[in-house]
Amino acid sequence: MNRAERLARLLRVLAAIISEPGLNPLELADRAGVSERTLRRDLAQLRDLGYEVAYTSGYEVQERLNLEGRAKGRPRGRGDDALLQAVAQAVETAGLWRDTEHVEPLVPRRGKPRRSGSAPIVLIPTGEDDADFIYATGFGVETGLYIRYADKEDVLIVSPLEIDRARAQSRVSNVVEDSEAYVHRSWARLAARLIREKGMTEARVSPNLRAVHLEDLRTNGVDAQVVRDLFLADRRRKSAAEAAAIQDAQGAAESAVVEVVRALAQAEIKDGILWSNGGPLTSERLYARAQLTLGEKGYTCPSMIVAGSPECALPHFSDEVRRMHAAVVQALDAGIESIAPGVPGKDPHLNVCQVLIDRGFGTRTAGYEGPDGVAKMNHSTGHGVGLDAHEEPSLRDTADDPLAEGDVVTVEPGLYLVGLGGVRVEDTGMVTKQGFQNFTTLTRSLDPLDYL
């Protein structure tokens, strides 16, 4: 490339900056018609000519040109900028400018912007338990990329370490590997490139997406929009297979509960402490037995809580605890009976609250406070269950949205009093045409022997 052509290219870069201030590096390269690598060299040369330029290497390139600064030691005026644009246009029209040193594919020109509703979906997992990623792909993985360009047109990209498992377990037909994106953690930049290659400029992303990936998408030429309700409606209404999976998990959890109750029932009380197998029966030992039971059934629960206190060693429940338990069970039945398609989510909650105050207790819900000094319920009645422990819909006093067939929800009223303790009884089931299909089979008895 001769000197005139090189100067023409520099003029073209500067003209692009002047005409559209604030372009990111990929957009600037696109407007100037050069590769990223060539652009970085040009920015360095412009700095040598007196323009203040700062940037980093690789895909993280960022530039800052002080167009009101100096060139060759003298201030530039607005006329210079106008002249620069005119000269750049003239040299291009004359055919003097061309990128003969091009070594990378040109960034595709932007097509017509798409409405966000039809824009491709980009998912990068926050970890192997990312619910949106699992829902879209049927596959949990610590790191990877999923793009849904349109219905029946999607791709799952994973590391070479995960490619065989992804092909075996995921429901995505097009599964490929990319070692470079895995090594450099450049999934967002890879997504941006693939989307641009299809002539697209927008994407929809999950609210779970990490900020660094969102920034990388936008920096690399993709207008990524966070969709707060992405998959919300789809994930809320469970299919028959999804409901069966939840019911199976419920059965495994009940087996773990029975194992804990069995250990408690068989323990001996010595000096106010529960003993089993020659030592104190601690919360940690109960936790281990519950996890072992789950593991034998193919499940695990890292967030499980088994917590004891000195009061837990009392051989009999107090009359007040029994009274609280009876009220909670009655409230649970009232909540379940009010569940049906079309019923607002607040109705089961308010019915639960009404039973509790009728039984002499209280809640934190306005209008259902009950008398002072009594045990109260300080939480909502329930919530949706799925890939996440807490999903839509909600059973609380502010829930106006109607319940629908396919919703899987908990119904879990409770009463708590500082200095005494608390009681909570919980069932899980699905909203059907007939009402609430209860997945829970455990007894609600306070007698441990009734669980065995």
Considering only CA atoms, which of 265, 241, 236, 255 is closest in space to residue 298?
255
Residues contacting residue 152 through CB under 8 Å, at least 6 positions apart:
none
Q: Choose among 405, 410, 390: nearest CA to 349.
A: 410
Fold adopted by 116-230: Creatine Amidinohydrolase; Chain A, domain 1 (3.40.350)
Q: Convert the pLDDT of each residue in 287-302 to its tens digit.
A: 999 999 999 999 999 8
67 near 81, Cβ under 8 Å? yes
At residue 75, the pLDDT reads: 46
Please say whether the beta carbons of 313 and 297 come within 8 A.
Answer: no
Torsion of CA 241, 243, 245, 246, to 10 degrees: 170
Q: Which two tokens stand for residue 296?
A: 């034998």
For the domain made up of 240-451, give the CATH fold.
Creatine Amidinohydrolase (3.90.230)
Tokens of 186: 């450049």
Give the C-alpha distances (Å, rounded to integers) separating 79 from 15, 76, 211.
13, 8, 41
- Asked if pLDDT for residue 277 goes beyond 50, the answer is yes
| Paired tokens of 4 | 């005139």
pLDDT in tens, 401-431: 999 999 999 999 999 999 888 999 999 999 9
Q: Taking the domains of the chain in order of start, what are their residue ranges?
A: 3-93, 116-230, 240-451
Q: Which amino acid is it at 14? A: L
Q: How much is the pLDDT for 62?
A: 37
**CB-CB contact of 124 with 213 (8 Å):** yes
- Contact criterion met (CB below 8 Å) for 203 and 216: no
| Distance separating alpha carbons of residues 220 and 215, to the nearest angstrom | 8
Q: pTM higher than 0.85, yes or no?
A: no
Distance separating alpha carbons of residues 63 and 23, to the nearest angstrom: 9
The whole-angstrom separation of Cα 30 and Cα 53 is: 19
Residues 431 and 407 sit within 8 Å (Cβ to Cβ):
yes
Strands 427-432 and 223-226: unpaired
Which residue in the block uniquely carries the two structure tokens 């495994």?
A: 252
CA distance 437 to 312: 33
- Mean pLDDT (the chain) is 84
Question: Which helix or strand (DSSP H or E) is residue 10 part of?
Answer: helix 3-19
Q: How far is CA 185 from CA 24, 144, 203, 225, in A?
A: 21, 9, 19, 21
- State the amino acid at position 87 in one-letter form: V
β-pair type (121-123, 202-205): parallel
pLDDT tens digits, 346-391: 999 999 999 999 999 999 999 999 999 999 999 999 999 999 999 9
pLDDT, mean of residues 162-177: 96
Q: What's residue 99's pLDDT?
A: 43
| Fold of the 3-93 domain | Arc Repressor Mutant, subunit A (1.10.10)
In DSSP terms, 391 is beta-bridged to: 384
Query: Is-contact 144 130, C-beta < 8 A?
Result: no
Averaged pLDDT, 44-65 = 50
Q: Two tokens at 195?
A: 């989307």
Of 283, 243, 285, 281, the residue nearest 265 (C-alpha): 281
The residue behind tokens 């992804």 is 166
pLDDT exceeds 50 at position 110: no
CB 76 within 8 A of CB 70: yes
Which residues are 421's β-sheet partners? 417
Is the predicted pLDDT of residue 225 greater than 60, yes or no?
yes
Asked if residue 94 has pLDDT above 70, the reply is no
Strands (E), 193-310: 202-205, 223-226, 268-270, 273-276, 279-280
Quote the pLDDT of residue 335.
Answer: 98
Indicate left, alpha or beta for 367 from its phi (over 0: left) and psi (-120 to 50: alpha).
left
Of 209-223, 266-280, 386-400, the poorest mean pLDDT is in 266-280
